[in-house]
């Protein structure tokens, strides 16, 4: 499993250089330069700008509209085993990128925000990835057959992309001729160059703005039109065959999980909500923004593999046929509190294990899941009744209790249970009890301060007083997530008002070494061994490429196997 976290960039104009407004891509580049001074880093073999680090994780520049000035820093943990391990690497990642931002040689000082929504209601944030069974039996057969039938649509999409690229080349040629003809006649030819070619061409350096804004908008619209047939076909196939038990038996758990892991939010009307990202969810299954969708479960990685990756590496297509696949959960907030992040991951792992073992038969199913999600987010009393498909009603606390009891029964039937599983179960039970007490008597919620984000943030907002205006309340909301010594959660932590699960020694170790017995183990090994060598090195989640041209060596990380018991040997086949 692993986490992907998008960090917003916050900066103010420098007093010594008024008017200086660097692009977010420039700030990302400065951050990467700072990272290189801290640990071995190599370029990512990917469609977007990014690097992999010696810990096996990655840092990306995430944007759809670079010419419009948008962009986020995305960090992805290495592949981990167990909730405590992923918490360690997430906390190490938070520390790594925040320190790199502080040390970056940028035109203006900047910090990162680990949150999910800005003051303008732009939504971003966290994704969770778990390796689970995509389908079995007849559904797996239909999935594989359907993927084969989608190949013509994928080919047409690819041809469309090639034609679009060709049209872009033709445009650049014609625009260049037009510019050469008009340049001698204009007083400010730079303005025409900006309109025709974008800032990278005019300023002569890589600023992430390779096209003008208007052309970027046109290309984005055309690209989405080209992808509609393939996207619709893949969505229909996934709805019939992919992750059906998870969508049926886990959905009520994921929706009510905001009680444990919601980050809290002040909305545009000034109302306090339990979760930051959840109120923006508008579908159960989708692509994560391709068509304005905000799904609970995301299919974007399947679409990318089918529409692009498979044409560069046929093994990508073979991989999407496998019964075990990545389940990506888009519903979940970025957590500052360690206990909340640990519970978000740990309870989900427990429920997934119980589900795959057949221990969730008869799990509650909500009649209107998205409406229930909105209700939960707006119910700070935790007493709202949610209608199930069988006509009964339950509160979000009742739903969580149902899943907790099922997981407890499941673990009691096992002979060899990891310590982390029991720890998560006890902490889950204890937290639900504290939430129940706080719902009955708000004064008893002090036990959850520094442990559950929405409770902690609501307390800080209450300290501001009822007379505080929206802007002041929103400042508290956003700066709670700032990864710096001035961030409000960090101030609580510095004063010993938060609870921790992993210690500094564990985090420091996770800043240097990758997790054991995962593909990240070998990825980190090759990065550390070859990043300073004479041969070029490029890495992605599945492969390591050493050298260039005919003599390059490709190492497939899927061939890696953990040790087979004591004395077992780890290996990767070239």
For residue 129, the cross-strand partners are 2, 328
In a domain, 112, yes or no: no
Q: Residue 286 falls within a domain, yes or no?
A: no
Torsion of CA 326, 331, 337, 340, to 10 degrees: -80
Residues 310 and 384 in one domain: no
- The whole-number pLDDT of residue 16 equals 54
Q: Is 243 in contact with 297 (CB distance < 8 Å)?
A: yes
417 and 545 part of one domain: no
Supply the pLDDT for residue 573: 30
User: Is residue 395 located within the same domain as residue 322?
Assistant: no
Residues 387, 340: one domain? yes
**Alpha carbon distance 343, 423 (integer Å):** 10
Q: What are phi and psi of 337, to 5 degrees?
A: -75, 130
Contact 234, 303 (CB under 8 A): yes
Closest CA to 69 of 114, 124, 28: 28
Taking Cα atoms as reference points, which of 480, 470, 375, 372 lies closest to residue 116?
A: 480
Q: Do 398 and 461 fall within a single domain?
A: yes
CB-side neighbour CA atoms (13 Å) of 274: 24
Examine the domain organization and report whether 313 and 174 are in the same domain.
yes
E-strand ranges in 203-254 read none
Instruction: Quote the domain boundaries for residue 536.
Output: 509-559
Do both 264 and 362 map to the same domain? yes
Q: pLDDT value at position 566?
A: 36
pLDDT along the chain (574 residues), means of 10: 96 65 88 95 87 96 79 96 96 97 90 93 92 96 96 93 93 91 86 83 69 87 93 96 96 97 94 94 90 92 87 83 95 96 98 95 94 96 96 97 97 93 97 91 80 96 91 96 96 95 95 93 92 84 86 79 42 30
Same domain, 234 and 251: no
Residues 377 and 404 in one domain: yes
**Quick check: is 454 in a domain?**
yes
In a domain, residue 272? The reply is yes
**Can you give the three-state secondary structure of 340-384, one letter per residue?**
HHHHHHHHHHHHHHHHHCCCCCCCCCECCHHHHHHHHHCCCCCCC
In the three-class reduction of DSSP (H, G, I as helix; E, B as strand; rest coil), residue 145 is classed as helix
176 and 307 in one domain?
yes
**Regarding beta strands 265-266 and 272-273, do their DSSP bridges make them parallel or antiparallel, or are they unpaired?**
antiparallel
Q: Residues 436, 335: one domain? A: yes
Q: Give the total number of structural domains in the chain.
A: 3
Q: Give domain status of residue 321, yes or no.
A: yes
The DSSP bridge partners found for residue 62 are 72
């Amino acid at each position: 499993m692993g986490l992907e976290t998008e960090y917003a960039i916050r900066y103010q104009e420098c007093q010594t250089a008024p008017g200086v407004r660097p692009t977010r891509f420039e700030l990302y580049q400065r951050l990467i330069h700072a990272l290189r001074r801290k640990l071995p880093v190599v370029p990512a073999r990917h469609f977007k700008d990014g690097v992999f680090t010696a810990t096996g994780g990655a840092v990306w520049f995430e944007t759809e509209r670079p010419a419009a000035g948008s962009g986020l820093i995305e960090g992805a943990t290495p592949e981990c085993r167990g909730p405590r391990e992923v918490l360690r690497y997430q906390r190490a990642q938070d520390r790594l990128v925040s320190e790199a931002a502080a040390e970056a040689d940028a035109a203006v000082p900047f910090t990162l925000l680990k949150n999910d929504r800005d003051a303008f209601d732009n939504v971003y944030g966290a994704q969770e990835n778990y390796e689970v069974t995509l389908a079995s039996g007849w559904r797996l057969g239909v999935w594989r057959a359907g993927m084969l039938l989608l190949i013509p649509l994928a080919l047409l999409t690819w041809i469309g992309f090639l034609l679009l690229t060709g049209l872009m080349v033709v445009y650049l040629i014609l625009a260049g001729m037009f510019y050469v003809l008009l340049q001698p006649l204009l007083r400010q030819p730079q303005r025409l160059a900006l309109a025709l070619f974008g800032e990278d061409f005019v300023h002569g350096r890589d600023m992430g703005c390779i096209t003008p804004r208007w052309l970027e908008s046109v290309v984005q619209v055309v690209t989405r039109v080209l992808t509609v047939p393939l996207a619709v076909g893949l969505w229909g196939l996934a709805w019939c065959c992919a992750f059906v038990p998870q969508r049926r038996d886990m959905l009520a758990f994921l929706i009510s999980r905001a009680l444990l892991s919601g980050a809290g939010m002040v909305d545009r009307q000034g109302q306090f909500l339990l979760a930051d990202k959840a109120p923006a969810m508008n579908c159960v299954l989708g692509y994560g923004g391709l068509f304005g969708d905000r799904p609970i479960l995301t299919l974007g990685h399947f679409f990318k593999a089918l529409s692009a990756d498979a044409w560069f590496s046929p093994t990508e297509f073979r991989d999407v046929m496998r019964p075990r696949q990545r389940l990506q959960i888009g519903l979940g907030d970025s957590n500052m509190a360690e206990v909340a992040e640990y519970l978000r991951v740990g309870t989900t792992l427990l429920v997934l294990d119980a589900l795959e073992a057949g221990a969730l038969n008869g799990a509650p199913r909500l009649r209107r899941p998205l409406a229930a999600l909105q209700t939960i987010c707006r119910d700070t009393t935790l007493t709202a009744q949610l209608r199930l498909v069988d006509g009964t009603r339950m509160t979000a606390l009742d739903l969580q209790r149902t899943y907790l009891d099922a997981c407890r029964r499941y673990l009691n039937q096992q002979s060899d249970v990891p310590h982390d599983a029991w720890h998560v179960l006890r902490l889950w039970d204890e937290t639900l009890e504290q939430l129940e007490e706080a719902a009955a008597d708000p004064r008893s919620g002090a036990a959850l301060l520094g442990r559950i984000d929405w409770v902690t943030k609501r307390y800080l907002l209450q300290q501001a007083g009822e007379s505080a205006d929206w802007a002041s309340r929103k400042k508290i909301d956003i700066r709670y997530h700032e990864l710096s010594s001035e961030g409000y959660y960090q101030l609580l932590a510095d004063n010993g008002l938060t609870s921790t699960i992993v210690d500094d020694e564990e985090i420091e170790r996770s800043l240097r070494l990758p997790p054991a017995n995962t593909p990240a183990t070998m990825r980190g090994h090759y990065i550390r061994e070859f990043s300073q060598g004479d041969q070029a090195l490029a890495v992605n989640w599945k492969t390591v490429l050493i050298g260039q041209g005919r003599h390059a060596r490709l190492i497939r990380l899927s061939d890696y196997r953990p040790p087979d018991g004591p004395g077992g040997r780890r290996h990767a086949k070239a």
